Structure 1
């Protein structure tokens, strides 16, 4: 039995004992009072009647008239006159009447009142004895009515007491529920911190669990920072902080192969000309500060965009990768302002020519870099300060205007979407879920996401598309009983209205919701953690799993995310590619997997291209893998 039920039983028992005892005492006191009054009435009336008889002649008619007059006006049960010899001279008894109170009540409180007796004199001798017994019906009625009134008042007082007790119990239950919820969270390895209740006992328990959660959070922060430090040492340039060439090119290859919202974007290439001359004239410290300044300016542009990366391809070449929809005018303006400002600070030695291009799903990395390098040579051959934009005439737009694109996209979504299926497997080669990128039928052909997602973003149709994807995924799950993973855009994940719409749809597919995996971009964990917290709490009751994709730099925030009920993370391809040949990378992945397991979070490797890497990743403790090698191994 729960503590609350025991408390209610104790309250009800105390109230019943208190009010029941009070009612019993009041009823007993009233009964004793009424008995005393009846006894006095019997005695007084018998004495008065005997005195009247003493003064009258002792003929039977006169005495009977007196007795009858007294009997008819006094509500008596019996009046009798008995001679001194014992013979009854006169007797009047009341006839049977309907009871005024329930029989069980009169039996329960039956009055025990002796009759009143008085001696009748005839001169100096005793004539006889008058015996008088009063009627009890009205006494029972009075006691019954008083008892009902008391019971009514006690019932009202009891209800008021129960209401007050309910308010008190409810006030106690709130902190108790918080403590229970926190205990459940800790049992599921979500180390939450709760406000301290006012109740001393609960306060002590909650304070102890808060201290445990705070200690675990501090431990997680230390471990995640240490792992992130190792990751940066391995994947980032020690001088500038930008990604190393290999890490950046791996990221670029992964972006070009991704069939989701990051499979398109823009890329810039910046060159520090005459770096050797600058280094020779001013020395290494000056040159390193210059390169750090350039890297930080590029990183500021990347941070402002959200999903972006900065890499150092060689000593003098830096690259900026902007993923997803990019406002080209904004990007070029920010880039040009920063480069011109930096050039002016180090004039006249420093020149920073740049090239800018757009990439899409399916582009070849070598061709993309070659085009950028050619455009950079053109910019370098000029005044050395401009940005050369690569022109690609090979790409043809499906539609020529915003109006045509909007109409085509809305018609395609209304006509029905299609979801691809790419497996994510565990160490037993069983499918954890299928990644399901969206495809639309545009211009009589099913198009991959990179063909239309830029226009979805520009026309602000992300919410509409994401709801269509959710509806289709739930239908497929119900039909085939297989888990599916869908992507949620940053804009949709931070839109409370769309989250409410998702809740309504999930409530209609309760059975399918438990097989749904929802992925959000890493940028939301870094820039909109409160919105992400709201999303996780809103979807948690439906049993669907929420995770983060492309996790790299955001891993250091795992301590801030551990209390959200996060189900899984997908580690960035720059950490998992060619891991069988990189022992340092294996150390980082093992630490990441261990830290995730301590929080009951699945660690999944994405972008796995080599089948040898699959076994290594599982040996390191990762829970799942996805990528071209997994798709090929699964025969899908």
Structure 2
């Protein structure tokens, strides 16, 4: 509570409680003190009355012969127990008789008697023998009964005071709760705003000051919502106009070109394979000529719906409309995935050829593997040639890829490789304890490499460092896409993700303070078992790790917003920041982003590589303003040239990343070989290779 602060309601209630307790305690003390003074007066009065009464009673017996009668009368009164001292002294101050009693043991606590002492006075009365003064009678009342009375009075007063105190505090609590209830909704509204959830407060307090605060907050939230809505609508309209075909609502040729260039700028021969497919509707011209353009449009929309519905069943495949009668799809695929797409497309094209009797056939298609450094126009020319000479349009068409497949491994070999990657995790790491975790992870160095690339701000300071994992087997570097694709196909994807996570956590123990981002796949986020394991592992290793960020793809958010939100909320509880990758690739980006508690958005690479276009630049600037308006930082990745870096710096993007700034670096090159495994450091930009010193791999 001290670290998080103390609520105003609690502070006020504690203040009221302290004042109330002090007031009631003082009142109780004053009550008991008043009762004590009253009892002292009663003891004095009682003793004075007894002295007068007894003095008159014994005055006839003051001669020497009858003095024993006076003493007997005194004994009778003393034995009543109400007196502590009765003494008769003659005129020569000689004590003739005296009765006293020791202070008895009482049921009253000693501390109470010490705190509230009773001091009964000794009262005197002159005794006469006729006209002659015979002596003086002294009487002191006994305090035992008075102490008992004072103690019972104190207990009763304390009980009553305590009950009144509880009732008073309860009343004060409920009054305070009612008065400050709107303040709780203001706090919730402020916390929601800090998490990018902008909601108005429907409760209007009657307290003038709080009402002014609520009205101001609601007005501010309304302005933010209106500005966000207007800018979002503008950005969506720009995106639709620039990248969406108005008839089919599919991405257009320009969007395809952007993605193609983005792929070619980041893909290398030893990494992932990408395939481009071309689908033509050959009967469009005859339909337009014979039935009119409306029928032609209907034919195009029908073809788009059928093909996109079929391709949507396979993840990461996007259909584009590139011209009047032509569609294309672009995706990173394995050879098995290409064969699956081929079979599904052939089946659907044959079925619709039979169902829709059109003059030149319903549709035909071809597909090719994109060559390294191959231009978009060259690839499209090759596809046009294939579509003319050898299109796939019947179920007997055999798939022939014009580019050689880089994968030389059979399914059995992949099973052996993935077993090699995951078996060690299952047998050794899955149930190991915290103490020997790092020791157990050392053999993972034979399977994986940890690669790092910094994200820097405009002042050339590290915002965070993104981590990547490279796969190796028997000295061979394996394509990341193929590894994950085959792991998914063979049912060991989550085990592979867990092994990779253990490896990353183990390697990150060498890094201190520098924030490190880890990529989490869509399949991992969707698995409750994996996320539970991930957060448990993080909590066990948290003290040894640097600050972490999780990078998740926008497609994962679109796939399941509820599951992704739950994952993000759990991460935020553990102080882990969140980065949304490929932001802006979906038109729904602005609808979900304001409801997620994320920290960074990383622009989709297609916008980065098309930034030299004025409308793309304006769109990115609008996106940046929208994100800044709700407290998000924007990152541009895959920056390759100084011109791109300069443009993004001028439009106030928060973070920059790419080989044009600093190249990807293997962690093993940062750890001095002369030092042992306990070595650790804070990463600096000087640890990474600038572009002038970097040679493309």
TM norm structure 1: 0.81
Q: Does the 8 A contact of 2:455 with 2:466 survive in 1?
A: yes
Q: Give the match's secondary structure for 2:607.
A: helix
Structure 2 counterpart of 1:32, from 35, 38, 54: 38
Q: Give the match's secondary structure for 1:389.
A: coil
Within the alignment, does 1:557 sit opposite 2:589 as a pair?
yes
Within the alignment, does 1:570 sit opposite 2:602 as a pair?
yes
Distance 1:410 1:576, change over 3 A: same
Query: Number of matched residues?
Result: 630
Within the alignment, does 1:229 sit opposite 2:237 as a pair?
yes
Cα displacement (A) at 1:70: 3.8
Distance 1:40 1:434, change over 3 A: closer
**1:280-327 deviation per Cα after TM superposition (whole angstroms, max 9, x unaligned):** 222222212322332244444455545332212333221233556896
Q: Give the match's secondary structure for 2:247.
A: coil
Q: Does the 8 A contact of 2:250 with 2:320 survive in 1?
A: yes
Greater share of residues in helix: 1
CA distance in 2, matches of 1:349, 1:558: 44
Q: Tell me the residue number matched to 1:77.
A: 84
Cα displacement (A) at 1:592: 1.7
Q: Does the 8 A contact of 2:524 with 2:530 survive in 1?
A: yes
CA distance in 1, matches of 2:573, 2:180: 21
Distance 1:634 1:210, change over 3 A: farther
CA distance in 1, matches of 2:204, 2:371: 58
Q: What is the RMSD of the two structures over their aligned residues, measured on CA atoms?
A: 4.5
Distance 1:263 1:592, change over 3 A: farther
Cα displacement (A) at 1:174: 8.9
Deviates more, 1:9-18 or 1:478-487: 478-487
Distance 1:239 1:424, change over 3 A: same
Within the alignment, does 1:516 sit opposite 2:548 as a pair?
yes
Q: Does the 8 A contact of 1:43 with 1:116 survive in 2?
A: no
Within the alignment, does 1:219 sit opposite 2:206 as a pair?
no
Matches within 5 A, 1:124-523: 130-144=137-151, 146-147=153-154, 150-151=157-158, 179-180=186-187, 182-183=189-190, 186=193, 190-193=196-199, 205=213, 208-255=216-263, 263=272, 268-301=277-310, 303-305=312-314, 307-322=316-331, 335=345, 339=349, 343=353, 346-349=356-359, 351-355=361-365, 376-377=387-388, 380=391, 389-390=399-400, 394=405, 395-397=407-409, 399-400=411-412, 403-411=415-423, 415-416=443-444, 417-481=448-512, 482-508=514-540, 510=542, 515-523=547-555
Q: Give the match's secondary structure for 1:319.
A: strand
Q: Tell me the residue number matched to 2:68.
A: 61
Q: Give the match's secondary structure for 1:352.
A: coil
CA distance in 1, matches of 2:214, 2:348: 51
Structure 1 counterpart of 2:611, from 573, 576, 579: 579
Q: Does the 8 A contact of 1:77 with 1:135 survive in 2?
A: yes
CA distance in 1, matches of 2:12, 2:393: 86
**1:596-630 deviation per Cα after TM superposition (whole angstroms, max 9, x unaligned):** 22233222223444442222232233233434544
Deviates more, 1:597-606 or 1:556-565: 556-565
Distance 1:86 1:352, change over 3 A: farther
Cα displacement (A) at 1:521: 1.1
CA distance in 2, matches of 1:418, 1:104: 78
Distance 1:339 1:217, change over 3 A: farther
Matches within 5 A, 1:92-111: 92=98, 94=100, 97=103, 102=110, 105=113, 108-111=116-119
Cα displacement (A) at 1:147: 2.7
**1:70-126 deviation per Cα after TM superposition (whole angstroms, max 9, x unaligned):** 43553523223466x78666341536648866488457454466737596776x999
Distance 1:329 1:381, change over 3 A: closer
Distance 1:345 1:226, change over 3 A: farther
Deviates more, 1:237-246 or 1:355-364: 355-364
Q: Does the 8 A contact of 2:43 with 2:120 survive in 1?
A: no
Q: Give the match's secondary structure for 2:278.
A: strand
Q: Tell me the residue number matched to 2:619.
A: 588
Distance 1:106 1:277, change over 3 A: closer
Cα displacement (A) at 1:8: 0.5
Cα displacement (A) at 1:256: 5.9
Q: Does the 8 A contact of 2:86 with 2:100 survive in 1?
A: no
CA distance in 2, matches of 1:418, 1:550: 24
Within the alignment, does 1:602 sit opposite 2:633 as a pair?
yes
Structure 2 counterpart of 1:622, from 630, 649, 653: 653
Cα displacement (A) at 1:502: 3.4
Q: Does the 8 A contact of 1:353 with 1:379 survive in 2?
A: no
Cα displacement (A) at 1:17: 0.8
Cα displacement (A) at 1:439: 1.6
Distance 1:273 1:479, change over 3 A: same
CA distance in 1, matches of 2:276, 2:317: 10
TM norm structure 2: 0.75
CA distance in 2, matches of 1:402, 1:197: 61
Cα displacement (A) at 1:34: 7.0
Deviates more, 1:369-378 or 1:582-591: 369-378
CA distance in 2, matches of 1:450, 1:233: 32
Q: Give the match's secondary structure for 1:74.
A: coil
Within the alignment, does 1:633 sit opposite 2:667 as a pair?
no
Distance 1:274 1:75, change over 3 A: closer
CA distance in 2, matches of 1:615, 1:365: 25
Distance 1:488 1:210, change over 3 A: farther
CA distance in 1, matches of 2:178, 2:266: 52
| Structure 2 unmatched ranges of 5 or more | 1-5, 426-440, 664-689
Q: Does the 8 A contact of 1:81 with 1:130 survive in 2?
A: yes
Q: Does the 8 A contact of 2:451 with 2:467 survive in 1?
A: yes
